Chain A
Amino acid sequence: MITLRNVEKFYEAGYGRTYVLRRINMEIKEGEFVTIMGPSGAGKSTLLSILGMLDAAWTGEFEFVGHQVHRMKPKDRVELNKKYIGFVFQSYHLIDNLTVYENLDIPLSYRNVKSSERAAIVCDSLDRFHIVGKRDLYPSQLSGGQQQLVAVARAVIASPKLILADEPTGNLHSSQGKEIMELFKKLNEEGTTIVQVTHSHDNAAYGHRVVNLADGWIV
């Protein structure tokens, strides 16, 4: 599904290049659940952004479900993101002035789904994640765990093939974190490929394998 060859990312600083990622080669197959680990500043989040087409300033080759991403225009990369990828962030990244319902609706609004269908999909999702009672609340009215639940629901609402999760339990209590991880496991068993970044070995245990990063290198 994903192949990275010699992917590198650096900043031109005044005194030379600062590398964030160096010579990354990796392959992820469809249906895998991969964990990326490493200390702060190792480049984990950057790698995740590149996989998610959010970051276009890198060198090397990146093949994604048969597309040569490194040869694609930004607009088409966004289309790949739309079609295949869902994101979960450590700090949830729900939009504060939209309700739970409206937050879930955002990805659909960018995907040419008819509005009648959109309503149906959002309602299904509210049911599936047991958050029907929260549909008209704003994120600030929810606990962290509930917010992350909504964020996961939003990530999978457009049925992505790949979920990218950046420290999804980082801001949560252990019990809430466990709930989210169980949810990922279930989604993975249903066929969704998952790549997560985490500091937690417990969370890593939910996945199939671990990629360790340090100072931009795979170790």
Chain B
Amino acid sequence: MENGSEALIRLDQVSKVFITDEVETHALAGIHFELKKGEYLSIAGPSGCGKSTLLAILGLLDTPSDGVYYLNGKPVTGLKLSERARIRNREIGFIFQAFNLIGDLTVYENVELPLTYRGMPGSERKRRVQEALERVGMSHRMKHYPSQLSGGQQQRVAVARALGGDPLILLADEPTGNLDSANGEAVMSLLKELHTAGATVCMVTHDPRYAEFADRTIRLFDGRIVEEQVEPAAKH
């Protein structure tokens, strides 16, 4: 897999320290890895190992205390808030454990939301939203509100919202965490499908069954990478 192509994501000795009055907590320490375009990476490890903090840094929701994060070849650690917002909007698609759809907006409007932040013309938005909802099989529920959907359906809408912006990378934080196993499986196969179609995916999970969907797994423990393995099941 070291084929020399430019890494989409590169973390260089990234660490994160939470400091309160009394104590320093090292959530991440010296994280170093690369992710290439089109890869499917899973980050695994027990609760409290730092997975979610790592994903927040990758998604520019949080900044590292130390180290450099290169996205698409450019360092993004020292950017202004507005620039970070722009990158989140254009380059990154988020999928959360708790779906995080906005309850006041319809399915259509939820998917449209990131596009409205780009000043995209209405017709273009409409096309993209419909396309994204079709890809996740939710185009028939466009006018519904999140509360009218099951958890699995909500997560499919959340995936469509992440896809609609045509991001460089999809970041998924325990996407099956709030779902039963059938719905969880469905969301995982959806991600797999997207990956096959060319999407770059980075997913956090502590469920070993789902880690196997990825090409490659990084294991975190107490804020450090303790193991990196290529999933045999993912070879095709």
In the complex, the answer to whether B48 meets A177 with C-beta atoms within 8 Å is yes
Q: Which of B177-236 contact A (CB under 8 A)?
A: 177-181, 184, 206-207, 209, 221-223
Residues of B within 8 A of A175 (CB): 222
Instruction: Report if A170 contacts B (CB, 8 A).
Output: yes
Main secondary structure of the interface of A (DSSP, over half): loop
**What separation, in Å, do the CA atoms of A173 and B47 have in the docked complex?**
9
**What separation, in Å, do the CA atoms of A13 and B21 have in the docked complex?**
46
Instruction: Report if A169 contacts B (CB, 8 A).
Output: yes
Asked whether A144 and B181 contact (CB < 8 A) given A169-B48, A199-B47, A200-B46, the answer is: no
CB nearest to A139 among chain B residues: B20
Pick the contact of A214 from B22, B25, B177, B181 — CB < 8 Å? B181
Report the interface size class on chain A. Answer: 20 to 34
Pick the contact of B22 from A39, A90, A137, A172 — CB < 8 Å? A137
**What separation, in Å, do the CA atoms of A41 and B177 have in the docked complex?**
7
In the complex, the answer to whether A144 meets B25 with C-beta atoms within 8 Å is yes
**What separation, in Å, do the CA atoms of A174 and B174 have in the docked complex?**
20
**What separation, in Å, do the CA atoms of A13 and B20 have in the docked complex?**
43
Instruction: Report if A102 contacts B (CB, 8 A).
Output: no
**What separation, in Å, do the CA atoms of A167 and B177 have in the docked complex?**
14
In the complex, the answer to whether B222 meets A174 with C-beta atoms within 8 Å is yes
In the complex, the answer to whether B177 meets A40 with C-beta atoms within 8 Å is yes
Contact indicator per residue, chain B 146-164, by CB within 8 Å of chain A (1) or not (0): 0010100000000000000
**What separation, in Å, do the CA atoms of A142 and B148 have in the docked complex?**
41
Distance to closest chain B CB from A193 (angstroms): 24
In the complex, the answer to whether B181 meets A169 with C-beta atoms within 8 Å is no
Asked whether A170 and B47 contact (CB < 8 A) given A40-B174, A140-B20, the answer is: yes
Pick the contact of B48 from A13, A142, A144 — CB < 8 Å? A144
Asked whether A141 and B48 contact (CB < 8 A) given A40-B178, A40-B207, the answer is: no
In the complex, the answer to whether B46 meets A199 with C-beta atoms within 8 Å is yes
Q: Which of A182-219 contact B (CB under 8 A)?
A: 199-200, 214-215
Asked whether A215 and B222 contact (CB < 8 A) given A141-B21, A171-B47, the answer is: no
Instruction: Report if B81 contacts A (CB, 8 A).
Output: no
**What separation, in Å, do the CA atoms of A170 and B52 have in the docked complex?**
12
Known: A13-B150, A137-B22, A143-B20. 14 other contacts (CB 8 A): A40-B176, A40-B177, A41-B177, A41-B180, A41-B184, A90-B47, A134-B22, A141-B21, A142-B22, A142-B23, A144-B48, A170-B47, A171-B48, A172-B48
- On B, residues with C-beta under 8 Å from A are 20-23, 25, 46-48, 148, 150, 174, 176-181, 184, 206-207, 209, 221-223
The 4 nearest A-B residue pairs measured at CB: A170-B47, A143-B23, A141-B21, A41-B180
